[in-house]
Amino acid sequence: MNYLKKSVTEVDVRGKRVLLRCDFNIPLDKKTGDITDEGRITASLPTIRYLLGQGAAVIACSHLGRPKGKWDNSLSLAIVGRRLGELLGQEVKMAKDVIGEDARRLAENLKPGEVMLLENLRFHKEEEENNPEFAKALASMADIFVEDAFGSVHRAHASTEGVSHFLPAVSGLLLDKELYHIGGALENAARPFVAVLGGAKVSDKLDVIINLLHKVDTLLIGGGMAYTFLRARGYEIGLSICEEEKLEYTRRVMDKAEELGVRVLLPVDVRTAREYGNEEPVVYPASAIPADRMGMDIGPETEKLFADAVRSAATVIWNGPLGVFEFSNYSHGTRSVAEALAECKGTTIVGGGDSAAAIRGFGLADKVTHVSTGGGATLEFMEGKDLPGIACLLDKE
């Protein structure tokens, strides 16, 4: 995929109305409706402030939750609009609809330096259907489209791809960072290049593994998916999670890695439990997990092995926790990799989702080069897929 896309900094936005696709799909408290993590709102601020500083009028839009094409007051973006206004230090005009009379009136009267927010895009089923008429109605309110919601670019929706057929489309500052760091790592990484993959299942990372095998020098495998690899090597893994149908695939991956000269590091020891929970762990060699125990986290020796590989790398990309980090007794492996990333002098990229939540939870997000704002989008980007919300943007000249 061509990730060299024209940025908002390369086009003239002065006096123009800009349709800005943000990712305001934030977590809300189910009982109070309050925002529990405003990270995605604050991530949008640099682009909004840049546009305002350049004399543009900003029409922000986003989805929130899964209303399935129906109006749902509990998923209104009004609460986001209020918080965004507080963070910007100015009023954010909140539309009562998406493409209706109120939104159009606000957009027509919006002056340079002002911001408005459309209601939840997914209150219309046409958004996820990428309906051309809905996309055209969205686009008709603006002069230019800026894509800044990396977490949604893997979906061909009206607000991520459809509007590009009616407006010049460029990337925002947040999306620029994603393209620069992840795209740069995948295409032109400083070496040694180390990838750390975790998470529950091999099947979730099939295409990522294959793509990375042709790019990295060392591949570290942890999390639940490691036990399928260990089983494929003939090890006893007890009650640990294992995708039996992927055993032959993992053998082929390891053979391919050897053919390409890529070093694959698997756990050499693991922290185990008798059942899924936060009981006191017992460490066993990864090759001999008892029949009545399950692997829940990498062990101390593996921590050292993985941390040494990460610290000595020139480029590291990490996606997926190394154990069941939600339980304190099984968060050690994930924390050790996060700390090694923080100590690494090279380029360090955390690939969104649980990894991003973990490194933020450990208070180390500001110690790495880049923390991706994507989940599924990050994975698909790492797989080398063409993402519709990026492919539709103007190429750099």
Active-site residues, by number, are 40, 201, 353, 376
276-282 contacts, C-beta under 8 A, 24 or more apart: 276/324, 277/327, 278/327, 278/328, 278/329, 278/330, 279/329, 280/329, 281/329, 281/330
Tokens of 320: 């997926």
Q: Which residues touch 349 (CB under 8 Å, ≥6 apart)?
A: 181, 182, 185, 315, 316, 317, 318, 368, 369, 370, 371, 372
Of 88, 58, 59, 67, nearest to 25 by C-alpha is 67
CB 271 within 8 A of CB 298: yes
d(CA 333, CA 340): 11
Collapsed DSSP state (helix, strand, coil) of residue 265: strand
Of 155, 115, 121, nearest to 138 by C-alpha is 121
> Which residue do the tokens 């990498």 mark?
298
> Quick one: how far is CA 167 from the chain centroid?
26
d(CA 332, CA 303): 8
d(CA 274, CA 231): 19
Of 357, 124, 388, nearest to 338 by C-alpha is 357
DSSP secondary structure, 202-234, as one string: GGGGHHHHHHHHTT-SEEEE-STHHHHHHHHTT
